Amino acid sequence: MFQDEAGFGRINKPKYCWCRKGIRPSVPCHHIREYRYAYGAEEPLTGNGYFLVVPYCNTACMSIFLKQLSDTIS
């Protein structure tokens, strides 16, 4: 069985807006960070797999993934 994890996300910095020519508006700027993490395990001989998408990549989420994977394959 093979296991891997991957992170998917975006960083957005909204700072532009439409306005009339000659006007320079004040636009508040802040970073938006959104991430999701996918854990997956695949058995190449049978094609069986288990995947889980979680909001964090940490020990607690990995433990949840491993517990659910163990429950699924047993």
Q: Of 43, 9, 44, 42, whose CA–CA distance to 52 is shortest?
A: 42
Q: Is residue 1 scored above 70 in pLDDT?
A: yes
**Given the structure tokens 């802040």, which residue do they identify?**
30
- For 46, the token pair is 């049978």
Minimal CA–CA distance to 52: which of 34, 38, 41? Answer: 38
pLDDT at 14 over 70: no
Which amino acid is residue 42, in one-letter code?
E
18-74 confidence digits (pLDDT tens): 888 888 877 777 677 788 999 999 988 988 889 999 999 999 999 999 999 999 888
Q: What is the pLDDT of residue 36?
A: 92
Residue 17 has pLDDT above 80, yes or no: no
